[in-house]
Chain A
Amino acid sequence: MKTKRILRAVFPLLSVLMLVALIFGCAGPQATQPPAAGGDVMTRPPIGVVRGFTITDLTGPTSDTCVLHYNGTVDYLKELNAAGGLVYNDPKTGQKERVTFEYDFSDCKAQAGPVPSQYDRLSTATPKPVIYFAGCTAASLTTLPFTERDHIVQLSGMSDQAIWWPPKWAFCMTPDYAGDACAGAHWAMQDWKAKGGSGTPNWAWFTLDIPFGRSMATPESEAYIKGLGFNLAGLFTMPFAPVDLSAELMSMEKAGVNYFYSNDLPQQEAVVMKNLAGLGLKDKMQAIGNPYAIAESILDKAGVDANGLVGVHFSAFPAETNLPGIKDATEMAARNGRTMSTDYALGLCVGRMLTEPVKRALEAKGYPITGDDVYQAMLDPSGYDVSGGIIAKVTWTETERRGLWITYMRGVQDGKIVRISEDFRIPDMKPQQ
């Protein structure tokens, strides 16, 4: 009797649940191709929507830089859609068509914890996203298996080794942390010799004590730096919001450090430079920053103490308005009430790198497209030279997911960031097999 009573209670519930499952489990609206219509492409409605998304750090410890990238990308996409969207030649309809590019975002605060849920929310939107920009290391790393599973192309900025090796569904636009550090060491050794330095100079890492910061110090990068003729003096760490780094810098002085490379952001690098000046160590130790550290905001944050900082960078200067990409970014910043900066211009690059493979996939297959189509477009052997000179041409292959190999050195002189070296190739820091 008791069993019957329980079954009587459970069966209606199960029936309701099954009904709900049937209703909600049915496939959602699919991106289908509407019938072709003649006339000018701009007067006809868009053939459909292509979706992308980003997970980035908008309010966390690396937001200093990520927000600028995000603003550049969103402004570019907003203007693109306002101008009618992505216009392309559709092989299915045999005429020009256009699609709008929807771009969703979520703020992971540079933490891995919230990323899986955020990714699952954004990646299951309708129509299914085909491309995604991982704006911070936590998002890039955590979603590597997911993007491969879901066949959604992942575009990454600066990257950890795991993001580009072994090859997955992630494509890195800019150099990797370890490679950049080694580029800095390459310049440092030339500088040491040019200054007539004798003996073995000492090299140190000075970094945020997180995986992003430490990721430059790999066995490969350490072997490369030793191979250049440096003695490795050690790895010194700093907190996210340092108030004073004098103790660390004095320890470095005690260890005889001649050059140190910082993997941090302007807010920390400003403290490094202020303390370095305060201790009178600028002539003894050369600070070398990563591309984030030697951004324009270091001039405001460190003031005159920023003078003397050098850094590795791969992007054109905001003042180079003779370059089409920089000109576009400058005008876009003005239209949207933003301050033009290198990182804002890089945001424009991200926007173009998100949409150009989509356009190529649309032209190859016609609407609708999938992540697989965009993946194939990413491997286009002709590469991507869409940034108008902001960064060099980007090319990916089946086995190489680092798109950019060119860098140069910047330096802060008389309160301005200037180029202090010619372009040179970034050392290859592929992990030992």
Chain B
Amino acid sequence: MLPSGTYNVRYEQSMAIFRTRAQWILLALFLIALFTVPLYGSRYILSLISMIGITIIAVEGLGILTGYSGQLSVGQAAFVGVGAYTSVICMQRFEMPFLLAILCAGLASGLIGIIFGLAAVRIKGFYLAMTTLAAQFILGWCFLHLRSWTGGTEGLFVKPATIGPLVFASAQSKYYLVMVITVIMIFFAKNLMRTRLGRALVAIRDNDLAAEVMGIDLLLYKLIAFFICCFFAGVAGTLYAEYVEFVNPVQYTLEDSILYVGMLIVGGMGSIMGPIFGVIFMKLLNEGALYLTPILTDMVPALGGAIFSALSTAVYAIVIILFLVFEPKGINYRWTIFKNQYRLYPFAY
């Protein structure tokens, strides 16, 4: 919805993501704030924001598959793992440059995603979830047992990424790497959903039979959705491996996959902002709980750290449950209502 008194008079205006001067200024301020964090933020803050950025990419990919095209996946963490291992193997065994390795990681994850996505042609809903669950276990098995490639339980250590003369070894430089790629991936996702492909995916989600009648090739588009979802996961995996400087099967578990779905639900499906809100909300809630636990333990030492850790987990769960009960459409829906209210000012929403 456009702000009150603002009209589109040209096609370009109608298609623009940022339509008003205020929006451009806000974007510029946001980007300035985002890219100046290393000047004043501690390494913890940089780490937290970097992890949020990496997770946003993974959940944004899941959002395209689940939120836009209606295909459920609970194996996203495994595809993140495929990306991580692929990029490390490409860079260290084949001595590829980082940018080529990240592309290969995305493509490898995407292609493996297509294999598991083939089942989506015949099945959907919970049945499809089961096949993606199989991906989680099969790929997890591969991480452990293809030892000559993955290092098995020992994992692989990762050298810092380099782009030309730039070496991304410090927390600050890694932050910039993650943020630049996160912004690019969000921009890519946003634009992708405004294309014919995006509209076709939404049509499949809303009614696949009607979509097929309209001439949308279900097999092709569902596989594309899987490819894109897993491509995002591959990119996220590469960044995670670079950030942590170590890849090991313990990093790509079913719990992570389920958490990604949880983040998507909390943030709101079927939007680009939803995964961003979901990831930020869940990560900060978790960090808040973790931060408060030692403080509470110091206040009542007799109860011990484990009790308060359990309580913080319970609070974390209760907040999510309450959220789902009172705002099942996700944070993004509430944000949309808020935006519409102030944009319509001085008129009532």
Contacts and interface: CB of A to CB of B under 8 A. Distances in A.
Contacts of A160: 153-154
A14 B31 CA distance: 12
Given A13-B29, A58-B310, A112-B250, A70 B40 contact: no
B126 to A, nearest CB: 19
Given A137-B250, A161-B154, A431-B154, A117 B293 contact: no
B248 A117 contact: no
A117 B153 contact: no
A137 B253 CA distance: 13
* Chain A interface category by residue count: 35 or more
Most buried by B among A20, A112, A145: A112
B40 A117 contact: no
Contact of B309 (A21, A104, A107): A107
A144 B28 contact: no
A25 B47 contact: no
B154 A162 contact: yes
Contacts of B99: none
A37 interface: no
Interface string A112-136: 1110111111011000000000000
Interface stretch (B67-75, B238-246, B336-344): B238-246
A13 B157 CA distance: 40
A123 B42 CA distance: 11
Contacts of B154: 160-162, 165, 431
A218 B153 CA distance: 8
Interface string A56-89: 0011000100010011001000100000000000
B124 interface: no
B301 interface: yes
Contact of A145 (B153, B157, B249, B310): B157
Nearest to A141: B248
B251 interface: yes
A246 interface: no
A210 B250 contact: yes
A114 B289 CA distance: 12
Nearest to B310: A59
Contacts of B334: none
A281 interface: no
Contacts of B173: none
A74 B305 contact: yes
Contacts of B36: 14, 17, 21
B262 interface: no
Contacts of A119: 47
B264 to A, nearest CB: 16
A187 interface: no
A105 B155 contact: no
B44 interface: yes
B255 A59 contact: no
Most buried by B among A116, A124, A215: A116
13 contacts: A17-B39, A21-B40, A58-B309, A59-B310, A111-B253, A113-B251, A114-B286, A123-B43, A124-B43, A124-B44, A138-B250, A142-B248, A211-B248
Given A106-B290, A112-B251, A142-B251, 20 more contacts: A6-B28, A14-B32, A17-B40, A58-B309, A105-B293, A117-B48, A118-B290, A120-B47, A124-B43, A142-B244, A144-B246, A145-B246, A162-B151, A162-B153, A165-B154, A209-B137, A211-B144, A214-B144, A219-B147, A337-B302
Interface of B: 25, 28-29, 32-33, 36, 39-44, 46-48, 51, 137, 144, 147, 151-155, 157-158, 171, 243-246, 248-251, 253, 255-256, 259, 286-287, 290-291, 293-294, 297, 301-302, 304-306, 309-310, 312-313
In the complex, the 8 A-B pairs of residues with the closest C-beta atoms, listed nearest first: A21-B39, A120-B47, A145-B245, A162-B154, A58-B309, A107-B309, A215-B153, A112-B251
